[in-house]
Amino acid sequence: MYKSRITGCGHFLPERIVKNSDLLEFMETSDEWIQERTGIEERRWIDPASGETTSTMGAKAAERAIAHAGLTKEDIDFIIFATLSPDMYFPGGGVRVQDILGMSTIGALDVRNQCSGFVYALSVADQFIKTGMYKNILVIGSENHSGGLEKSTRGRGVTVIFGDGAGAVVLSRSDDETRGLLSTHLHSEGAHAAQLSLLSPSTGRWVDEIMKDNDPDDISYYPYMNGQFVFKHAVVRFSEVINEALAVNNLTSSDIDLLIPHQANLRIAQFIQKKFGLTDDQVYNNIMRYGNTTAASIPIALSEAVDEGRVKQGDLVVMAAFGSGFTWASALFKW
Ligand code: UT7
């Protein structure tokens, strides 16, 4: 069995900054409410005139990750693309990246696990590396939330939280037994699927049905979140899946050098930080600047943490995520 490790990271964020106060243009809310409940100060939303999409942002983050790894696109054997906001219903974003970057006809796989999507994608990539099938895999998380949010007071409980952006890593085969990806842990509980969901258009409720019913209260084409329900499950599952990763590797929370939680809510990250007895320096948060970018949040945060010198060789790095599905997951690295 081979071992895998991250050899390159990159991220891309749209230039347009949307501050909390900017949201007042189209909804009743306040900077105070948003900061107090979520920690978010601003987020990036694609400027519609820019032509940027989930795939183009993913491709830009991927290019940066490949360069950071000291590789070229010819070295990449496979693409895994995680998103809940693909450019189109089908095909997915992986093939779009293959095309945009002008790569050879390598395989491209899409992962649909929302906020846990990047960690699930890492886990899939790890299996391909371990068996020796591939040497370098591009793992991308990218989201265009702003294109599909309800920009009115009715949608404020969801709309203020989400931002756009992309992050990517290259996961590579490594001969160094002492470092790399130690383990990944994946979970789901579909009984709560409806609590954080986007119901249509789907084969369960297609466009013509929505049009036929002409019901102004049918907003099933906007994301729905039962915030408090999700929050309560998130804090429990985050803790469980971090503990699981530590226990499997005979480690304890005092061994953690850096926790990169999915950026769902600063209050959730602070709860986890306290629970595991970590200092501010041991938890990487950027939700203040970018909001919740679901599958992109961990690779963006990792890429920034690496740029800032917050991850050093030999560090124990934990990634943990929870979200729609419900799904939750963790990955443990010796950097
Ligand atoms: O990434 C996937 C995982 N996601 C999460 O883990 C998110 C988990 N949930 C949360 O982060 C929080 O539940 C939210 C930040 C989404 C919401 O915070 P909350 O404290 O649970 O608020 P709430 O939904 O219970 O709403 C409280 C009040 C309501 O007013 P009333 O009914 O008490 O009069 C809402 O209408 O706040 C109102 N409200 C707002 N007010 C101003 C909801 N959204 C807003 C808003 N601005 N944007």
Q: What CATH fold (topology level) applies to the domain 3-174?
A: Peroxisomal Thiolase; Chain A, domain 1 (3.40.47)
The reply to whether 262 belongs to the active site is yes
Question: Residue range 103-115: average pLDDT?
Answer: 98
Q: Give the closest residue to 276 by CA, choosing from 245, 307, 299.
A: 245
Tokens of 49: 């005139």
Which DSSP state fits 215? Answer: -
**Catalytic residue selected from 20, 113, 136, 292:** 292
Q: Which amino acid is at 297?
A: S
- Nearest-CA residue for ligand 1 atom 43 is 157
Tell me how far apart the alpha carbons of residues 256 and 278 are, in angstroms, rounded to a whole number.
8
Q: Which atom of ligand 1 is nearest to the CA of 268?
A: 6
- Nearest-CA residue for ligand 1 atom 36 is 157
Phi–psi pair at 133, nearest 5 degrees = -70, -40
**DSSP H helical ranges for the chain:** 31-38, 54-68, 93-100, 117-130, 156-159, 207-213, 227-248, 266-275, 287-290, 297-307
Q: Which atom of ligand 1 is nearest to the CA of 234?
A: 6
Q: What is the pLDDT of residue 2?
A: 94
Q: Compute, in angstroms, the gap from residue 298 CA to the centroid of ligand 1.
A: 22
Q: Give pLDDT tens digits for 119-133.
A: 999 999 999 999 999
- Nearest-CA residue for ligand 1 atom 11 is 265
Q: Give pLDDT tens digits for 292-301.
A: 999 999 999 9
Q: Which amino acid is at 312?
A: K
Q: Give pLDDT tens digits for 242-292.
A: 999 999 999 999 999 999 999 999 999 999 999 999 999 999 999 999 999
Q: Compute, in angstroms, the gap from residue 15 CA to the centroid of ligand 1.
A: 27
Q: What is the pLDDT of residue 316?
A: 98
- Nearest-CA residue for ligand 1 atom 25 is 228
Which DSSP state fits 264? Answer: S
Question: How many residues would you count in the chain?
Answer: 335
Q: Answer yes or no: are the C-beta atoms of 302 and 9 closer than 8 Å.
A: yes
Give, for ligand 1, the residue of 35, 41, 154, 228 to mutate: max count of ligand atoms closer than 8 Å to Cβ.
228
- Nearest-CA residue for ligand 1 atom 20 is 37
Which DSSP state fits 257? Answer: S
Q: What is the pLDDT of residue 174?
A: 95
Q: Which atom of ligand 1 is nearest to the CA of 324?
A: 2
Q: Give the closest residue to 99 by CA, choosing from 58, 46, 129.
A: 58
**Segments of the chain assigned to CATH 3.40.47.10:** 3-174, 180-334
Give me the half-sphere count of Cα atoms (radius 13 Å) on the Cβ side of residue 10: 22
- By three-state DSSP, how is residue 142 classified? strand
Pairing of strands 136-143, 42-44: unpaired
ω before 223 within 30° of 0 (cis)? no
The reply to whether 286 belongs to the active site is no
Q: Give pLDDT tens digits for 140-199.
A: 999 999 999 999 999 999 999 999 999 999 999 998 989 999 999 999 999 999 999 999
Q: Compute, in angstroms, the gap from residue 246 CA to the centroid of ligand 1.
A: 32
Question: Which residue carries 């189209």 as its tokens?
Answer: 26
Tell me how far apart the alpha carbons of residues 335 and 326 are, in angstroms, rounded to a whole number.
29
Q: Give the closest residue to 169 by CA, choosing from 335, 1, 331, 7.
A: 7
Sign of the CA dihedral running 63, 67, 73, 76: negative
Tell me how far apart the alpha carbons of residues 135 and 119 are, in angstroms, rounded to a whole number.
19
Q: What CATH fold (topology level) applies to the domain 180-334?
A: Peroxisomal Thiolase; Chain A, domain 1 (3.40.47)
Q: Compute, in angstroms, the gap from residue 227 CA to the centroid of ligand 1.
A: 6
177-201 as b/e, with b when 16 or more CB fall inside 10 Å? Answer: eeebbbebbbbeeeebeebbbbbbe
Mean pLDDT of the chain, nearest integer:
97
- By three-state DSSP, how is residue 45 classified? coil
299-314 as b/e, with b when 16 or more CB fall inside 10 Å? Answer: bbbbbbbbeeebbeee
- By three-state DSSP, how is residue 280 classified? helix
Q: Answer yes or no: are the C-beta atoms of 142 and 57 closer than 8 Å.
A: yes
Q: What is the pLDDT of residue 98?
A: 98
Residues with CB under 6 A from ligand 1: 29, 33-34, 37-38, 115, 156-157, 160-161, 227-228, 230-231, 234, 264-265, 268, 292, 294, 322-323
Query: How would residue 33 be classed by pLDDT, with cut points 50, 70 and 90?
Result: very high
Run of H or E including 259: strand 258-261
Q: What is the pLDDT of residue 264?
A: 97
Query: How would residue 42 be classed by pLDDT, with cut points 50, 70 and 90?
Result: very high
Indicate the angle between helix axes 266-275 and 227-248, nearest 10 degrees: 40
Pairing of strands 316-323, 327-334: antiparallel
Q: Answer yes or no: are the C-beta atoms of 2 and 173 closer than 8 Å.
A: yes
Q: Answer yes or no: are the C-beta atoms of 14 and 50 closer than 8 Å.
A: yes
**Catalytic residue selected from 9, 115, 145, 286:** 115
Q: Give pLDDT tens digits for 209-221.
A: 999 988 989 999 9
